[in-house]
Amino acid sequence: MELVNPSTALARVLVDELIRGGVRDAVVSPGSRSASLALAFADAAETGRLRLHVQIDERSAAYLALGLAKATGLPVPVTCTSGTAAANFHPAVLEASHTDTPLILLTADRPNELRGTGANQTTNQVNLFGDAVRFFGEVGVPESEVGQVRYWRSLIARALSVAATGPVHLNLAFREPLLPDDDPSWIESLAGRAGDLPWTTVLNSGVGIARDLEDLGVTPEMKGVVFIGHAQGGFASEAIVEFTSKLGWPIVAENPLSFDDAVAHASLFLSAPSICTTLRADVAIVIGQLGLSRSILSYVAAVPMLIVAEQRTSWSDPNRRANIVIDTLPDVAGDFHSAKAGLQWTSDWIRESLRAAEIISANTSEWSEASLAREFSDFLPLGSTFFIGSSRPVRDLEAFATPRGDIEVFGNRGLAGIDGSISTAVGIALSRHEQTYALVGDLTFLHDSNGLLCDPSIPLTLVVVDNNGGGIFNTLPQRGVEKFELVFGTPHDLNLSKIVAAFGHAFFEVTNLDEFKEALRRPGEGLRVIVARMPDRESNATQIAQILQQILTFEGVPHRK
């Protein structure tokens, strides 16, 4: 996508999406930096898509927009240039905040490189209105990059959904040129949803209207998949299981230990483009935050219709492609499970899962991080509690574990950091009366080794994968670059068992599968650490690459539809 005039492109997309989302009035104060927005609103008014109100005083303009919003109940945008112009919105913002009025503040700004330089009309407009707004978005300088248009449209859709509860603020940094160019041919690349629909339709259960799948435009003839990510969108596992069992679609879970009907190894076999073509879906429902595997994110991004079910404030839509966002699981109207497309569709997914399982089994009989993840997840006692560390361990669980539905799984996946993992696992174990289990990497362990400064009677079995450094980077594009070991591999060359001993806890050091199984089954109570010494990081990366290649070329014959 080539945006010849990015500032004009952003302004036109923003105004178009606001109108699609229900905006019928807009207020503008004149200014140079906001020229693109002012002209886009004027063009929309000229074609009858909204009413434009021009007010030279920004304080009065904001109150004018406030009055329109209070009277109509619809969101009303108010636009100004940068500097004190934006500050003059503040009194009306406070009133809107305390009356839950849907006011949308569009403040033009200078680009980042001018901030703090003494440039004319440049100040810090980030979070200018503090907690008086329900949502703030630093939109960023518009650029000719793939994905910009859907990012802008998705952001407007989100701002409109939040504006139902009070004012929202979008800060828009424009670079010159600020005026439209003479060649309008590139405008076609700014198109939104067909039928003048909003980019993302947000359906809130608070309106009291029951919605089923067919209300959302989903029919039994469609081929669909359910993806379950971190935190499960705030929904209980039982509710998700009830929903998916009625639906009868394949389900893919980043945490396969809590959903026994999940399709195993999807993150691996969806890495093959030919398999993605064979398993191309019409619709996907995402419940919770996805982000572990690029293959699944890419697959979801290509599905024509995306429904996000989310009870939390953030949406799991990193590709900015969601058609619909709902905060309840829809009723399953009609017999989806027995639909003609359904049975064969599910069988296709199971077939690919079994093919991948065969390849994984043939490649994980020896000691490796993949075989450890498989063995550990199979060992976990019925109904036990499990904490999984970020980075490589959680991905190994997703890729190699056999699904089961009886394990309560925790992880710090909100921001996917490796810090504080031992302390988090200890906190979870303190709330349990039976042994809790955890799996982390060596850098994660070192990052929070002080978490072992705790009561040794805490019921926790902690398994540490020791591959002497940042093993995940060996599986990423950084692999093999100059100075890789220095800045990515970061070998620590430490004896982790001695660190555990220094804190006074029981430990076991294992170097093969038999020793690992024995350590897991060894009777004992309280906190104990199993240090699993791995051969090296590079061999693990090679094994994963080999598995992926075999999935792609199954038994040496390229997979075909």
Q: Give, for all 561 residues of the chain, the pLDDT tens digit.
A: 455 588 888 999 999 999 999 999 999 999 988 999 999 999 999 999 999 999 999 999 999 999 999 999 999 999 999 889 999 999 999 999 998 999 999 999 988 767 767 676 777 788 999 999 999 999 988 887 778 899 999 999 999 999 999 999 999 998 877 777 655 555 666 889 999 999 999 887 654 455 788 888 898 889 999 999 988 998 999 999 999 998 889 999 999 999 999 999 999 999 999 999 999 999 999 999 998 999 999 999 999 999 999 987 778 898 889 999 998 898 886 666 555 556 789 999 999 999 999 999 999 989 999 999 999 999 999 999 999 999 999 999 999 999 999 999 999 988 888 999 999 999 999 998 789 999 999 999 999 999 999 999 999 999 999 999 998 988 888 888 999 999 999 999 999 999 999 999 999 999 999 999 999 999 878 999 999 999 889 988 999 999 999 998 864 444 544
In a domain, 320, yes or no: yes
CATH of the domain at 335: 3.40.50.1220
Do residues 286 and 403 share a domain?
A: no
Residues 6+ apart with CB under 8 A from 208: none
Look at the alpha carbons of 475, 481, 482, 488 in this order and tell me if their dihedral is positive or negative: negative
pLDDT of residue 342: 65
Do residues 46 and 76 share a domain?
A: yes
Do residues 336 and 381 share a domain?
A: no
Q: Tokens standing for 559? A: 């997979």
Residue 132 — φ and ψ, nearest 5°?
-75, -15
> What dihedral angle (degrees, nearest 10) is formed by the CA atoms of 186, 190, 191, 192?
180
Residue 257 — φ and ψ, nearest 5°?
-85, -10
Burial of 403 from C-beta contacts in 10 A (0-12 / 13-18 / 19+): buried
Do residues 114 and 261 share a domain?
A: no
Do residues 389 and 535 share a domain?
A: yes
pLDDT of residue 555: 46
Domain boundary among 310, 341, 359: 359
| Rounded Cα–Cα distance for residues 445 and 470 (Å) | 12
Do residues 270 and 170 share a domain?
A: no
In a domain, 558, yes or no: no
pLDDT of residue 223: 93
In a domain, 560, yes or no: no
Do residues 234 and 299 share a domain?
A: yes
Domain boundary among 301, 324, 359: 359
CATH of the domain at 485: 3.40.50.970
In a domain, 554, yes or no: no
What are the counts of helices (DSSP H) followed by strands (DSSP E) for the chain? Answer: 19, 18
Do residues 445 and 321 share a domain?
A: no
In a domain, 306, yes or no: yes
| Rounded Cα–Cα distance for residues 42 and 49 (Å) | 10
pLDDT of residue 493: 95
pLDDT of residue 556: 42
pLDDT of residue 362: 93
In a domain, 159, yes or no: yes
| 369 touches 471 (CB < 8 A) | yes
Exposure class string for 284-311: b at 16+ Cβ within 10 A, else e: bbbbbbbebbebbbebbbebebbbbbbb
| Rounded Cα–Cα distance for residues 19 and 535 (Å) | 59
pTM: 0.87
Do residues 244 and 289 share a domain?
A: yes
Q: Which domain holds residue 469?
A: 364-547
Q: Tokens standing for 252? A: 């893919």
Do residues 391 and 460 share a domain?
A: yes
In a domain, 33, yes or no: yes
Domain boundary among 325, 343, 359: 359
pLDDT of residue 208: 42
